[in-house]
Every structure is written in C-alpha cells, then in structure tokens.
A and B are shown apart, each in its own frame.
Chain A
Amino acid sequence: MTDQTPLIEVKNLTMAYGDFIIQKDITFSVIKGSILTIMGESGCGKSTLLRHLTGLKSPAAGNIFFSGTDFWHCSHKTQVQLLQRCGVLYQSGALWSSMSIGENIALPLRQFTKLSQDEIHDLVELKLALVGLKGFSDYLPAAISGGMRKRAGLARAIALDPDILFFDEPSAGLDPISSSMLDDLILELRDSLGATVIIVTHELPSIFALADDSIFLDTESRTMLATGDPKILATESDSIKVRKFLSRNSSSFKNGAHSS
C-alpha cells in the first residue's frame, strides 16, 4: 500500500441541481489503499458528491478519473466495468427488499461471474461471515435490525471484491458501540482486501479513527475549504470553520461563521 498513485482524481468538479449550484471547483485525489472522508455540515452536498462518484449523477462541470479514465466521458461499457470495481454501502443499507440477505449478496455474483451455484453459495456464506452475519442468509431484510442491515449491505458491497468502497454515513442511526464496531470492520476490510475507501460522514469519532485523508465541504462558500489528514487539520487548518468542526465547538462555530 505504499503505492502513491492516485486511484481516483476529481478535477474542478461542479455539482448542481438545475441552476442551483451545490458545490463548485472541487479538486482532490485519493491514493490507492487509503481512506478518505468527505466531511461537512448537513446539506453541504456530501451525499451528492458520492452520487457523482458512484455514477448516479453527472457533473455540471469538471471531471472524475478512475485510474486515469475519465468516468463521465467514456463509453457506457467502460462505465459499467468501472462501476463493477466499486462497492457502495448506502445510508439505509438499500438491500433489495424482495430478496433474502443471501440472494442480495448472490445477485451481483450471479449476474457478473460465471461461478457455479455451489461456489456462489460458499462465497455468500464467506461474505456474511466476514461482516459477522453468519447464518442470516435466509432472512429477509425487513426481519433484521438496522445495524444488521448495514452489515448485510456491506457484505453485498464487497460481493465482487471491489477495489473501491464507498460508504454513505455508515454510522448514522447506530449506537456508539455498533458504530465503532462498524468502523473496525471497515478498517479490517480495507487492510485485508486492499481496497480504497471513501466515506461520507460527520461523525467525529469515525473520522479520527478511520481517515488517512479528508476533504471538507462548506455550505456557505459552496466549495472545498480544506483537504488533508483530519488529525492535522483539527489543529493546523487555515480555516477556523474546519478547526471548529473537528473540535465540535458548535457555539463559537456558528458565531465565527456568521460574524459580520
């Protein structure tokens, strides 16, 4: 993991819904095998940025490169190939509710590989065991708890052994213990799969536990305020807003942000 070549590069990205610009001029890169967190206040466009990175929404301007390939300016076939290198864990898990947990994980394997039923079955069991859900294969998503659904979603995200993993607020709605267990799981999976991880979150414990690198999106200036290791940013960032975000200093944060 000492390879310093960027796996994902975002250049001058502008995101907009119609005329409404959410964020502009976002530029950053993610080094292979590292964990990047996308931070910012609620509503600053973190999840929208994730939708751009996972091919759900096209940028208003700018480019996104996956190992040098411009995602939004290449053929549909290449896009699908690139997407298959990615795994995404959605905020709610987004398991397909009409299928059992096992079938959810098996679906990408059935569609994109030529493995036999037995091999797929074994793989599903393995992925479930990796996320600590051994024996839950026949349960429907509605029958398990929120935390378990996230784990099952994670098992599905890693079904095709992706080299890029995206997480949309993994700890949202989880108690502190479950969420720190999920953080540990993310770290272990990163280390063992050698994956590159991008996490959208505003949970400070997760940010400090996981991130090698981070970017901070600002609602007011509609652009990126800072980039770097959050542990360093917390004390040394040029932006008072970033320092306060990372030290959870909300009262002075608001005063600082709105002083005239």
Chain B
Amino acid sequence: MNKECSLTTSQEDNILCLRFSGSWTIRDKQCQQLDLNKILLGKIQGLTFNTTDLTKWDSRMLVTLVNVIQTANAKSIPVHEEGLPAGIRNLLQLTRKKVLTPPQNRTNNAGFFTFIGLQSSIFVKQVLQHLAFTGKIFLSYMRFYSGQARFLKRDLSYFLFDCGPKALPIVTLIAFLVGFTLAFIGAVQLQMFGADIFVANLVGLTMVREMGPMMAAIIMAGRTGAAFAAQLGTMQVNEEIDALQTMGLNPFDFLVLPRMTALVIMMPMLAVWADLVGILGGFFIGVFSLDISPNLYFQQTVKAIHLNHFMVGIIKSFFFGYIIAFCGCLKGMSCGRSADAVGKSTTSAVVSSIVFIVIADALFTFFFNLIGI
C-alpha cells in the first residue's frame, strides 16, 4: 500500500512541476533529495506541484516544501501552490504568518571587543553587588542590635542546630583522617632524622593553625553554603521572597540574618572540634605506628601549641563562617526565577566560597606572620 516516496520533476514551457508521490512521512525511508539550486536555474519562470500520487504526508513533506519555496522565493520564481493538498497549503500559510517578533538580542553576533566589554561590565556589576550585599548585612545587624529586625527565633535555633551538631559527624571523619594523613607523611620524613617525636608538633600546629579551620570551612561550604543558596533560590522561584516583602517583612532580616548568625557562631566551634579530632588522628599514628608513648605524645603536643595558635584558628574560622554564609545567601537572594538558575546559584555559592576561603586564608597567614604570631 505504502509506495516509496519519490520526487520527480518535469518541465513545460519554462514551468517546473514537482511531482510528489508515495508516502512522505517521518517514518518512511529516506527519499532522494533534489539539489534545488541546480533545478531552479535560470530560465524557469514558475513552479507548480503535482500530488495526485501522494498517499500520505506529514511534516517531512512540509519541511521539504518549505525549503523548495524558500529557494524559489530567493530566486524570485513565482510559486503556484494550487497542486498541493489543502491541509499542506493551510500549514504553509501558518508558517508564514508572523505573529510575534522576537526582541533583538543585543549580545548575539557580538565581536570580540563587545564580548570583553560585556564581561568586564558584568564583573563590575558583581563587585558592586557584593559591596551592596555587605552594606545590607551591616544595616540588618544594626536593626538586629536595636531590636527592630523581625525574624523567627525558631529559625535561628534550627540553623544553629543544623550548622553545629548536625555537621559534627562529617567534620569529625574528615578532620580525623587529615590528622592521620599528616602524621603518616610527617613520620616518614622525620624518621630519617630520628626526630619521630616532632610528629606531634607537626600535626598539632598544622591542625590548629591551618587544616582544622580550613577543612571545617570547606565541608561547611559544600554542606551548608550550598543549602543556603538552594533554599533561598527556591524561595525566589516560588515568589516566597516577594510574599515576605509585600507583607512588609524585610526578607534580609527574615532569611539572611538567622542563617548568617548561626554559621558565624558555629564555625569557630566546629574548627576547634576539628583541631582536637585531627590531633587525635595524629596521636593514633604516633602511638601505634611510631611507638611513641601516649604520655610523651600528649606532653609534646601541649608544649608545641600555645593559646595564640588556637586564637589564629578561631579568628580565621569566624571569617570563614562569614564568607560561607555571605556567598550562600548572596547567590540565593540574587537567584533567577527558574530551576536552572537555582542550580547555577548553588554551584556558584560553593565555588566562590571556597575561592574566597583560600584567598582569606593566605591573607591571614601572611598577616599573622607579619605580626609574629
């Protein structure tokens, strides 16, 4: 029944007739394509169609026709559509109807310099956005201290619990393994000098000054920073933030304040916990692999670490907490209104907080070195 589709041409008095026959649907086998530019050459003064042998058609045929007609139009050859089935004629009519004109896309086909210019202006905008956000946080805390900020106490306690106790298992695991690894690598080197006992110094100082706060911060950036961005982003998509605003509640006080406060309070505590667990990891290697007596390892650690070193870690982690909450909330609050935008803002919250944490860490190390702590 279904004859294979074919397209043949015949010419009479400079009028070209395209003859469609068989079944022209997207499920049929590929049929031969005509090289339109060759056929519609020079002398042809009209194009007609013959579809008497056409058994079936769908958008496959329509696409071919659209191409033919466009080429013919480009060569100003008049097209007579009378030979086509009424359905096809209607559909062709519909494709030609210009209902809506898309707005001009200014970034399209832009040159290299336009691209550079656009990217720089985006960068400047982002810097300004960060500054504005810092200002808003400051104002929000001013309202907090003067008792005017409206937020739910329940939210604050929820986030305190979420950023603190709930994060302990993962922080414990990572910090223990970092201490463990540090001790292992240090031991191999120090054994060469017979200075095994200094593993305690190495692990203690590195954990307390650097790795404790840093590892805790990186875990929290991935765990909590991302969650903040996703929560606020989704609220933005669902118009929940608009609803707060029109109700006269400041979304900043209501949403950002409890999150930031909770993280800034909890971060130093997590860092101290990570320090201790990391030292425990080193202790484990020192005692079981290097045969240092537990008492001696303990004494050596206590001798190596001063309160100052703890303070360095605590100050750092305080700022790390701020950075994570800042990036998470900023990306969430400035999220677009689609599912895709939520994904982007979550990723960018994690990436930017880790970048800022590492930069801040380097600056702090330099600064503390300068003042001799």
Contacts and interface: CB of A to CB of B under 8 A. Distances in A.
A104 to B, nearest CB: 9
Task: Categorize the interface residue count of chain B.
Answer: 10 to 19
B170 interface: no
A107 B98 CA distance: 49
A83 B239 contact: no
B97 A254 contact: yes
Contacts, number: 55
Nearest to B239: A94
Interface stretch (B126-134, B243-251, B289-297, B321-329): B243-251
B248 A90 contact: no
Given A95-B240, A97-B240, A86 B97 contact: no
B11 interface: no
Contacts of B99: 254, 258
A63 to B, nearest CB: 19
Interface string B233-261: 01100111011111111000000000000
Contact of B243 (A81, A88, A111, A254): A88
A97 B243 contact: no
Nearest to A43: B100
Interface residues of A, number: 25
A111 B240 contact: no
B334 to A, nearest CB: 15
B150 interface: yes
B103 A83 contact: no
A187 B242 CA distance: 25
A139 interface: no
B242 A56 contact: yes
Contact of B103 (A20, A51, A92, A254): A20
Contacts of A88: 242-243, 246
Indicate the member of A83, A88, A94, A97 with the most B CB atoms within 10 Å. A94
Contacts of B239: 90-92, 94
Nearest to B106: A19
28 contacts: A20-B103, A55-B245, A55-B246, A56-B242, A56-B245, A83-B245, A83-B246, A83-B247, A86-B246, A88-B243, A90-B239, A90-B243, A91-B239, A92-B238, A92-B239, A94-B238, A94-B240, A94-B243, A95-B243, A96-B235, A97-B234, A97-B235, A97-B240, A108-B247, A111-B249, A112-B248, A254-B97, A258-B98
Given A55-B246, A96-B240, A108-B249, 11 more contacts: A56-B242, A84-B248, A88-B242, A91-B239, A92-B238, A94-B239, A95-B240, A96-B243, A97-B235, A111-B150, A258-B99
Q: Which 4 A-B pairs have the closest CB atoms?
A: A94-B239, A80-B248, A94-B243, A83-B248
